[in-house]
Amino acid sequence: MNAVEATAEASAELDTRRWWALATLVMAQLVTILDTSIVTVALPSMQEHLGFSDSGLQWVVTAYTILFGGVLLLGGRLADVQGRRLVFMLGLGIFTAASLFAGLSWDDASMIVGRAVQGLGAALLVPAALSILVSTFPAGKERNLALGVWSATSAAGGSLGLILGGVLTQEVSWRWIFFINVPVGVVVLLLSPRMLAEGRGLLAHRRFDFAGAVTITSGLMLLVYATTYAASHGWSSGGTIALLAISAALLAAFVLIESFSPAALLPLRLFRLRTLSGANVAGVFAGVALSAFFVGTLYMQLVLGFSPIRTGLGFLSMTITIVLAAGVVQSLVIRVGIRPLVSIGFLLVAGGLFWLAQVPVDGQYWSDVFGPFVLLGLGLAPVYVGQQVGAQVGVTPEDEGIAAGLIGTSQQLGAALLVALATTLYTTGAQNFATDHGLAGTGAEALTHGFTIVFYVFSAISVFAAIATGLLIESREREQTEVGFGEAASAR
């Protein structure tokens, strides 16, 4: 074998390994995404077996969300400093062990502990996985394709979680919604040393910003909790205001610390990258998707009378559309740039939400829900892919982990804030309608009125998101010339 043939063979082996690495990362990402929705249909069974109170049951979801949303930035920077594969495997190990613990839980407290530790593991795993993906695939067509697969997996996980959770809860036991993570986690842990390359950010130092880590993690955890608290106690309650004020103070302290820290956890210079900043704004507003998922679930179950499994199947129209459209979008990113794709995506989302606002009390899935869900899928594909690609535009190798943690944090905070807003809007709207018309606040007519208010408001929010991201994200030419995006980066 001559030198040219040996080089070609080595290159082919590297290309193959990249795609096996992507498969490994996507498997790990999928279990964390599934875990945000798979528990939903099992909550009544957990309450019956573990003795949860009505108010305490929300902590099965909240405990996971608080740790996941609060520790993502810390997880991203740990990956840069300590090693991405190491932090990925650490996070996956914690998540897998916590899944086993949650499946074996014997009372409400043990379940909450298990869910919180799952969230911690996911917060270490996800940004490390995304930074490994970015460092494995060169900027341009290959990276965009890989990010398209990653985004499609994230989008598909929600509805797949509902279907899988319903099947396992009805046919086996609610405990298997956690046990199923264990073999997947073990397989990925065994594959990781072979499939994933170790890497760190090319930092000039290995010091760690403990003051920044404490303030940002506690501030974000309080902010996520405040949104959950507001959904049940109201945004004007004293407790909500106090939580938001303390969170704001901690986040302000974090910004001050980062301005002077020689080893900043989140270097503020990253926000000088307009496309990165715009992508993170898109990540926040992409929370309208989870809100539509949340309210759509309530409409199909409480108004149309769907079972949990049938509800999950109902979301397949949106999921399949996102998966198919993501394949097209990733190839368009280089040709037209991120800005038009994200803005058009949000406008399509706005159209889908406006269409959903027309749902009647006596609606039917195929005539009233299917079409809007397909339109939402067509809009969410460019939003998801565009924000993931944009979140890494101009990011140097030393900051790939923290950039991954930043986009994850933006998405989690947006989801938490907008779901809390959706809850407030639909409950208030339903109650006011019921009071005005002498009806029950939980009746189908009152609930449908509340749901339509959410869809109208979130349609308007999506239009605003289209405008905001259009103004923030750089044009294709600026992306290529200033930060080496797309084909320009590949050529180098």
Predicted confidence at residue 486, as pLDDT, reads 41
How far is residue 111's CA from residue 99's CA, in Å, rounded to a whole number?
Answer: 10
DSSP 327-369: HHHHHHHHHH-HHHHHHHHHHHHHHHHHHHTT--TT--IIIII
Assign 360 a pLDDT band (cuts: 50, 70, 90).
very high
Assign 156 a pLDDT band (cuts: 50, 70, 90).
confident
DSSP H/E element including 195? helix 181-195
Q: Which residue has the tokens 């109902």?
A: 314
pLDDT greater than 90 at residue 354: yes
Task: Give me the residue spans of the domains in the chain.
Answer: 23-208+265-491, 209-264
pLDDT greater than 50 at residue 481: no
How far is residue 341's CA from residue 113's CA, in Å, rounded to a whole number?
Answer: 41
| For helices 400-437 and 444-472, angle between their N-to-C axes, nearest 10 degrees | 150
Predicted confidence at residue 440, as pLDDT, reads 61
How far is residue 322's CA from residue 23's CA, in Å, rounded to a whole number?
Answer: 19
Q: Chain-wide mean pLDDT for the chain?
A: 83
Query: Could you tell me the two tokens for 183?
Result: 């073999």
Predicted confidence at residue 367, as pLDDT, reads 92
Q: Which residue has the tokens 């036991």?
A: 173
SS3 call for 199: coil
Averaged over 351-367, what is the pLDDT? 93
How far is residue 113's CA from residue 279's CA, in Å, rounded to a whole number?
Answer: 33
pLDDT greater than 90 at residue 183: yes
How far is residue 188's CA from residue 177's CA, in Å, rounded to a whole number?
Answer: 18
Helix residue ranges, H only, 83-140: 84-103, 108-136
What residue type is 242 in one-letter code? A
Q: Which tens digits make up the pLDDT trace of 226-251?
A: 887 887 788 888 999 999 999 999 99
Angle, CA of 458, 463 and 466, to the nearest 5°: 125
How far is residue 395's CA from residue 266's CA, in Å, rounded to a whole number?
Answer: 12
CATH class, range 23-208+265-491 = mainly alpha
Query: Could you tell me the two tokens for 301?
Result: 């179950």
Query: Could you tell me the two tokens for 453?
Result: 């208010």
Sign, CA torsion 322/327/330/334: negative
How far is residue 387's CA from residue 281's CA, in Å, rounded to a whole number?
Answer: 9
